[in-house]
Amino acid sequence: MKTRLTALLVDDERLARAELRRMLAAHPEIEVAGEAGDVAEAEAAIARLSPDVVFLDIRMPGASGFDLVEKVPAGTRVVFVTAYSEYALRAFEANALDYLMKPVPPERLAAAVRKLLDGAPAASAPGRPLHLDDPLIVPSGTHYRVVRVRQIVCLRAARDSSEAVTADGRTTLVGRSLKEWEELLPPRHFLRVHRSTIVNVEHVERIEPWFKAGFRVRLRGLPEPVEVSRRHAALLRERLV
């Protein structure tokens, strides 16, 4: 990653752009190359300046910040800067690097700058190892909701996707296979107990014998037990000790 990045500020409020420019002056690694007051101006500025990052408002007259995201080159990062928290889920689904709430605290801006300089992946980018308190963006009807990794009780295979069952009893279809989940989830807390199921060991209540010397596991919040293959039963017991 380059040690000095160019930035474009996109906000329909001139004073908001001025304030963000002032705050970024404390970070010499970021050079403000230009400003834009709407999406049309921003498109032209991106084509002219090829900035490394776009600090982008969401609600603007005419087209919104989300309309611009679809036209931002793949190599350009996006940091949303907005007064509206309700767009956070959609922002991360759009692969934004960060989501800053106005008025932006200096420490949050500093954290976003560190992410930019470190070349950190976008908040919703797949392939990054997950931690228990990491947020996941999952579909929920016509919207999205945030689920912390620790809230996942189990994951069940569903063709090329999977079903995530969370502690609130909700089941959500997620476009990741169990194999992908195994590579992402913290292995100390999540264990594949069957070819079709991964469980969060923090939600295990007990293991019980079942048909033909097999086993089942009872999970908190799940009405039905989950089958455990014999070769995984010993691993699960070890994990629960």
- The string of DSSP letters for 29-90 reads TEEEEEEESSHHHHHHHHHHH--SEEEE-S--SSS-HHHHHTTS-TTSEEEEEES-GGGHHH
The phi and psi torsions of 183 (rounded to 5 degrees) equal -75, -20
Alpha-carbon separation of residue 211 from 94, 215, 216, 219, 228 (angstroms): 46, 7, 9, 18, 11
Q: pLDDT per residue over 150-180, tens digit each?
A: 999 999 999 878 899 999 889 988 777 898 8
* Cα gap 28→32, rounded to integer Å: 10
Which has more confidence, 156 or 137? 156
Q: Where are the beta strands (DSSP E) in the chain?
A: 5-10, 30-36, 53-56, 77-82, 98-101, 135-140, 143-148, 152-158, 161-166, 171-174, 190-194, 197-200, 204-210, 214-219, 226-228
Range(s) within the chain of domains with CATH label 3.40.50.2300: 5-118
| Superfamily in which the 135-240 domain is placed by CATH | LytTr DNA-binding domain (2.40.50.1020)
Please give the C-alpha separations between residue 74 and each of 20, 63, 94, in angstroms, as whole numbers: 24, 20, 12
Q: Which residue has the higher pLDDT, 81 or 143?
A: 81
Q: Where in the chain is the domain with CATH 2.40.50.1020?
A: 135-240
The separation between CA 191 and the C-alpha centre of its own chain, rounded to angstroms, equals: 22
Looking at residue 206, its pLDDT comes to: 85
The token duo for 198 is 């991964």
The DSSP bridge partners found for residue 82 are 101
The CATH architecture annotation of domain 5-118 reads: 3-Layer(aba) Sandwich (3.40)
Would you say residue 122 has pLDDT above 50?
A: no
Q: For position 126, what pLDDT does the model report?
A: 40
